Amino acid sequence: MYNVAIIGGGPAGIFAALELMKLKPEWKVILIEKGVQIEKRKCLLREGYEKCPSCKKCGLLCGWGGAGAFSDGKLTLTPDVGGHLLDYMPRKSVEDLVKYTDDTYLHFGATNEVFGTDREVFAEIEREATLAELKLVHSPVRHLGTERSLNVLKNMQDYLEKRITILYDTIADQLIVENEQVKGIITKDNQKIEAEHIIIAPGREGADWLTHEFSKNRIGMINNAVDVGVRVELPAPVFEPITEKLYESKLIYHSPTFGDEVRTFCMNPYGEVVTENYSGISTVNGHSYANYRTANTNFALLVSEKFTEPFKEPIAYGQHVARLANMLAGGVLVQRFGDLLDGRRSTPERIKSSIITPTLACATPGDLSLVLPYRQMTAIIEMLYALDKIAPGTASRYTLLYGIEVKFYSGRVKLTNDLETEGVKNLYAIGDGAGVTRGLIQASASGVHVARVICSK
């Protein structure tokens, strides 16, 4: 019998465990992680494989630190970006949580440098964005870089391994619910773990499992918007006037044709494009490093669609679109923007004749118009032309578009302001997998919040 059981060793689960040990060091806490320790995580593609081998458990997504471990470690220090915590508590409370969480990252080795704090510089770029019909969200960013992010997470792992029980390479299979109260967990290898309180923090990798398990236990879900789009790669000088001042620019646009929201996401100056494997589906992402630079910058353009009844499967929708790209390309597909506009597929020869050398060598040249629905494709094209007004060269014929980038957020769990599930007591859902957050800081902050709620009981 444990006081608290945590499912998921990503930032939400890690910060829940850290706060529990700070407030109740005598408690028995167990954390269940389907992947391995952070020093054992690896990606064969990054080690020289020409094609993603589609590992059963993707080393970029599973393991200590979650999907964010191998990202470039951007901590967005505002409640306005990266999640929905403002829906559950006052703004001041979220701001305090963000500050507390950021301080914890610093304690475990994060860098001191923060971008985007100069209001005058922000106002200047904001003016240019406004003239281009773009909304620039003020979002100071602490950039760790992939290698520093790994060090910080390793420090947290070493700290917690001495204080709580951690089961690696273990998959949570079923919740034990009796009389509308959670009692424990059964793992894939039939271990029964009993706990007074259970925190579900499976990340995007475990969002599908969360949806299935909560549906089985009649825990309410709300449709989240579906985010589908592409990763854009272009020469770093194109965005350098912005990235040198803000590092990452959060830009939102409403396409004139359909009115859909398009946003930039996960901007990586001088970074590289990478592929990820979600249960056999290859998708695309981006990283950047603290001590290593490429000649390119990459970022995602995501189109948000909020579907109404009877639609209730946002994950299945995203998987379907990504599978189309995999079907055509055998993995990730890449196309020059000029070829897309001309209605022709990119070929290896056309890619080679560009001024940009792709950082994802295993991507297959092809035609994204055979994959993305017309509505989303139109919004992306219109967004690229809008961005070209503040960063000339964005809409170049040589700009590379990789597909598909999709964020597998589950339907959003119906929660109280304590992030406790409605209908099942002592069961909490946090982080990206629960549809509550969309980034490192708010995911981490949600873990802190729930830990404090449980300790107060």
Q: How far is CA 135 from CA 107, 116, 123, 126, 420, in A?
A: 34, 15, 12, 7, 34
Model pLDDT, residue 348: 96
| pLDDT of the residue at 74 | 86
Q: Across the chain, what does the average pLDDT equal?
A: 92
Q: Which of 90-99, 150-159, 175-184, 201-210 is predicted with the least confidence, judged by mean pLDDT?
A: 201-210
| Window from 47-51, 267-271, 342-346 with minimum mean pLDDT | 47-51
Q: Which residue segments constitute the domains of the chain, with CATH numbers given?
A: 2-114+141-222+411-456 (3.50.50.60), 226-407 (no CATH)
Q: What percent of the chain has pLDDT over 90?
A: 74
What is the full DSSP assignment across 244-289? HHHSS-EEEEE-TTT--EEEEEEEETT-EEEEEEETTEEEEEEE--
What type of residue is 162? K
CA 286 to chain centre: 11
pLDDT tens by residue, 381-416: 999 999 999 999 999 999 999 999 987 665 688 999
pLDDT at 327 over 80: yes
pLDDT reported for residue 260: 95
pLDDT for the residue 408 = 66
Confidence of residue 46 (pLDDT cuts 50, 70, 90): low
Query: What does the pLDDT read at residue 48?
Result: 65
The answer on pLDDT for 110 being more than 90 is yes
Bridge-based pairing state of the strands 272-278 and 29-32: unpaired
Question: Model-level pTM?
Answer: 0.87
H-run or E-run covering 178: strand 172-178
pLDDT (tens digit per residue) in 414-453: 999 999 999 899 999 999 888 899 889 999 999 999 999 9
The pLDDT score that the predictor gives to residue 9 is 96
pLDDT higher than threshold 70 for residue 347 = yes
Poorest-confidence range of 221-225, 268-272, 293-297?
221-225
> Stretch 363-381: mean pLDDT, rounded?
97
Q: What percent of the chain has pLDDT over 70?
A: 97
Tell me the residue length of the chain.
457
Q: Mean pLDDT, to the nearest integer, of 77-99?
A: 95
The pLDDT value given to residue 313:
76
> How many CB atoms neighbour CB 189 within 10 A?
10
Looking at the predicted structure, is the pLDDT value of residue 44 above 80?
A: no
How far is it, in rounded angstroms, from Cα 184 to Cα 5?
8
Residue 221 has pLDDT above 70, yes or no: yes
| Mean pLDDT score, 116-143 | 94
pLDDT in tens, 250-290: 999 999 999 999 999 999 999 999 998 877 889 999 988 77
The residues that bridge with 16 in the sheet, in sequence order, are none
